[in-house]
Copies of this chain bind each other. A is one copy, B any other.
Amino acid sequence: MTFQICAPDRALAAGLQHRIDNKTKPQGALGRLEPLALQLGLIQQTLTPELRQPHIMVFAGDHGAARAGISAFPQDVTWQMVENFLAGGAAINVFSRQMGLGLTVIDCGVNHEFGTRPGLVNAKLGPGTANYLEQAAMSAEQCEAALARGRELAHALAANGCNVVGFGEMGIGNTAAASLLTHCLIGDAGGADLVTVTGRGTGLDDAGLVRKRELLGQALARGGRPSDPRKALAEYGGFEIAVMAGAMLGAAEKRMTLLIDGFIVTSALLVAQAIAPEILPYCVFAHRSKEPGHTAQLKHFGVDPLMELDLRLGEGTGAALAFPLVQAAANFLNEMASFDSAGVSDKSA
């Protein structure tokens, strides 16, 4: 499958910058919100960008390697947390409600049968990935199917009028998969050696962290370090990362604004960006996670997220919390008076 992403035409940049600079404030005084407003205008190819039907997609999946001791939490927590999402009791529910964001949970391969449930999309590729300590996490066919399903989901969201989507995830063991993907796709030379990019996830102690690194070293000894994004994804998973990468690519095809959350979401973006580099101008980086591998990813993309709140929860919580800043960027551009319209003297007066 190929993805058709066009980088935004920058012809509007000068007009947008002029509009930003003539708002009733010293030039640059709104800091990070100013380039963000410019980015939104370029993504939407308009001087008056609007965020419509903002939505959070949470991709859930299980990891065969989770039973080998790479996480502080038991694998059952994945389906239990999906139930918590569906009941409205998780952090992402709270923050989505507060920020006025729609929320959809996508079962990409949780080791549990949920049946048909409101708010849950069945995109199951299996009852969790295979254990990458023993074999590839998924087949090449599963990987391609996952990308395709993600793309369809994003296109459906766009068809419903949504033009800004935040990405989140749930999957016990998925920081380990993200560490392996980050190591494969950025490499030691990019500052993504295995030790640097492997962190405590949901809260491993020192001994747990040592064991996680050992296990991931064993996985690499078996599966190698593929630099091709589809091969790395198939080798180490997970299903939720693969479907999410497809959704990111599909969202950028539809010129949506992508809100990128933490370490695992950014590992899906690493895959997506390796497939179609034009995706990056559509991405707003919400927050800097406490997971050390996130810093290597952000450096790879040359970006600095909007917030640094020491979050390490996932679920898309950072994307949801950053949404008001993205909305504020659009709002100041659309609603603030200009020096002329307000009769305020400019600096040169």
Contact = CB atoms under 8 A, between A and B. Distances in A.
Contacts of A32: 309-311
A154 B129 CA distance: 58
Interface stretch (A39-47, A73-81, A234-242, A247-255): A73-81
A30 B25 CA distance: 34
A310 B31 CA distance: 4
Interface in A280-296: 290
A171 to B, nearest CB: 14
A154 to B, nearest CB: 26
Nearest to A314: B29
Contacts of A142: none
B313 A30 contact: yes
Contact of A98 (B74, B307, B317, B331): B331
B29 A345 contact: no
A66 to B, nearest CB: 13
Contact of A324 (B93, B202, B321): B321
Interface in A61-112: 72-74, 76-77, 80-81, 83-84, 87, 89-91, 93-95, 97-99
26 contacts: A23-B91, A24-B81, A24-B89, A25-B91, A26-B202, A26-B203, A28-B203, A28-B310, A29-B311, A30-B313, A31-B310, A31-B312, A32-B309, A33-B311, A74-B345, A74-B349, A87-B342, A89-B337, A89-B341, A90-B342, A91-B336, A95-B331, A98-B327, A98-B331, A203-B347, A309-B325
Interface of A: 23-33, 72-74, 76-77, 80-81, 83-84, 87, 89-91, 93-95, 97-99, 202-203, 290, 306-313, 317, 321, 324-325, 327-328, 331-332, 335-337, 341-347, 349
